[in-house]
Chains A and B, each alone.
Chain A
Amino acid sequence: MSRDEKLVHEALLYRGRDEFLATALPFVRDALEADVMMLAVVPQPAIEALRDSLGSASASVGFLDASTFYEHPVRTIAAYSQVVTQAAPRRVWALAEPPWRGRTPAEVMEWARYESIVNAAFETSGGRVICPYDVGEVSGEVVAEAKRTHPRLVDATGRWTSLGYLPPKDFNRECDRSPLPPVPPNAERLRFEKAEDLRGLRRFVADYATRHRMADSALAKLHIAMDEVAGNAVRHGTPPMELRVWAEGGRLICEVADYGHWHPDPLVGFLPPEEGLGLWGARMLVDLVQIRAGWSGTYIRLHTHR
């Protein structure tokens, strides 16, 4: 079976259970007929509706509860990648509906980014993915993003090509264009310039984290991610380098700043690398990594829940 077939990635814009099933059921039945691996990672009520309609055929579908599966965009890409690898040579089709309600605007942006990156991550997997959007439930902004992150759209009236679709690199570049909030005045700062200084940075972060009651397990991951990013700054950046740490709500934020003039690939660190770990590893270990690179320098922010 060819492994370089193009991904088909569609957004299903539905209202109510019947419209959902009108598209989802034929999709699942086609999958079972084509003997591909069929996954339905959707909210629990949708799982039950699909099971009821499919009857005994539902045994051949892998159901996963979306409310626990979609916790972290980069980890989700990694999890799907592993599914695709393990399923080979069978192809994977999926009904994939991440939860949108209750997400902050920043989180909505990261999950929209995720939808966009799916196009790059599984470009040649031969898979088919339908992402259902309950247009009666999600905000207009979420629907607008869906049209920019899915090459094709489906609704009760039919299927069409999304005119607003942006290739993943363009979409991600746009996400990274908005400036980050300024570093607050109470942030604590430490200059560094060489690899030998990283140990001091780890002590500095540990000290701050302890004072702000961060859990040890979260600190251990932040340490590794921060060390990776600061190590990159030492290897590739331009002095002076500085680490800034502050607490914001329930999160601890570390920013690594240098004067380097870096032009990162907009997808850097989002896709599981063939070898090495690098920035992908850092993205996996903390809640969110934000990168801003421009004429004034390179800024990488790591967010971790305390």
Chain B
Amino acid sequence: MNFYERPVSELRPGDHAWLAYTNKEEQATIVGDFVYDGLNTQEKVVYVTDSRPYELPGMLSRFGIDPTPFAEVGQLRLITLEQSCLTRGRFDPDRLLTTFDREVDVAFDQGFRAVRLTADLSWALRQPGGADLMIGCEHRFDATVGASTMALAICQLDRGQCSPEELAALRDKHEVLVEVNPEFDDGVLKITRTFRPLGLRLEGELDGVRHAVFADTLTNIVPRAQKIHLDFKRLDFIDLGALNLLATWAMRMPGGYGLVLDNLPPDVADVIDMLGWHRFPGLSRGQGEQQ
């Protein structure tokens, strides 16, 4: 199946999106926005989880809110695993699909214009035959959500819990890969956090007008005491000031760390070669593209 990446805020009814998160922070960033946006725009949010409202990913850490009042008035519905998808302690896909179907109908009757469904089923993968059950479930769920004019869903999975083969097979059941909202996007430059590897993806043109916002994003988002990757694949232009900014920033990182430039377009690689990599001691070539 062809799939495409879409920021969480751009998900629309009919989207059956996939999130294979790398760590809790990525999960909190994406799922947190998904839940928060739904609550904020009068949409219903249905979350299959044993957690309590304030434990939902990102609620406290990103927004500093306890969504319990939304649960009390029925806009946020948390359904335990026991109530939604377990039969005698085993993952039961039929039951999960029935649960989601019912919840979409209820939301419709309640007058919500959309319903957001999500579940983290990483645990089910580790049950005997879990991967096959889940792949079958995703297939049928895709048909259900894809045909819906009011349901949108994120299937969450902890990347660390599954094998590369399972990941590939499950990804194939989704048309949309959900990702974080960009940190910045003015139509010329887009800056998006990446979690695997840790860093930022730059798209468009990074020129003098955008130095300040780029420096702020680096400072606010990216920890210094790590190796940070910058994905240049879709970067069409970078000026000398921005290259210098990168070098200055990298020099302030603790010893042994630095900025890794991934998918360096041949033109940019050529420019840095010409100016001399020794002038950019904290920068290194990463994987992909270049010559």
Contact = CB atoms under 8 A, between A and B. Distances in A.
Nearest to A227: B239
A224 B271 contact: yes
Interface stretch (A21-29, A157-165, A192-200, A258-266): A192-200
Interface string A134-159: 00000000000000000000000000
A9 interface: no
Contact of B240 (A216, A217, A282): A282
Given A82-B278, A196-B209, A199-B205, A278 B270 contact: no
A198 B205 CA distance: 11
A285 B274 contact: yes
B266 interface: yes
A145 B279 CA distance: 33
B223 interface: no
Interface in A245-287: 272, 275-278, 281-282, 284-285
B241 interface: yes
A223 B241 CA distance: 13
A198 B241 CA distance: 14
Given A198-B208, A199-B207, A231-B239, A75 B274 contact: yes
Contacts of A216: 267
Nearest to A197: B209
B239 A228 contact: yes
A300 interface: no
A78 B273 CA distance: 12
Contacts of B270: 217, 220-221
A202 interface: yes
A278 B240 CA distance: 7
Task: Give the dominant DSSP class at A's interface.
Answer: helix
A78 B276 contact: yes
Contact of B275 (A202, A231, A277): A277
Nearest to A278: B240
Contacts of B205: 199, 202
Interface in A54-108: 75, 78, 82
A281 to B, nearest CB: 4
Contacts, number: 65
B237 interface: yes
Interface string A225-238: 00110010000000
A195 B208 contact: yes
B188 interface: yes
Interface string A155-198: 00000000000000000000000000000000000000001101
A277 B244 contact: yes
B191 to A, nearest CB: 17
Contacts of B239: 224, 227-228, 231
B243 interface: yes
A201 to B, nearest CB: 10
B209 to A, nearest CB: 5
A275 B247 CA distance: 10
A277 B267 contact: no
A256 to B, nearest CB: 14
A281 B247 CA distance: 14
A277 B208 contact: no
A221 B273 CA distance: 12
Contacts of A202: 205, 237
Interface in B18-34: none
Interface string B210-245: 000000000000000000000000000111110110
A277 B209 contact: no
Give the 4 A-B residue pairs with the shortest CB-CB distance, closest first.
A220-B267, A277-B240, A281-B240, A195-B209
23 contacts: A78-B276, A195-B207, A196-B209, A199-B207, A202-B205, A220-B267, A220-B268, A220-B270, A224-B237, A224-B238, A224-B239, A224-B271, A227-B208, A227-B237, A227-B239, A227-B240, A231-B239, A275-B244, A275-B248, A277-B240, A281-B275, A284-B274, A285-B274
Interface of A: 75, 78, 82, 195-196, 198-199, 202, 216-217, 220-221, 223-224, 227-228, 231, 272, 275-278, 281-282, 284-285
Given A82-B278, A227-B239, A277-B241, 5 more contacts: A195-B209, A198-B209, A217-B267, A224-B239, A275-B248
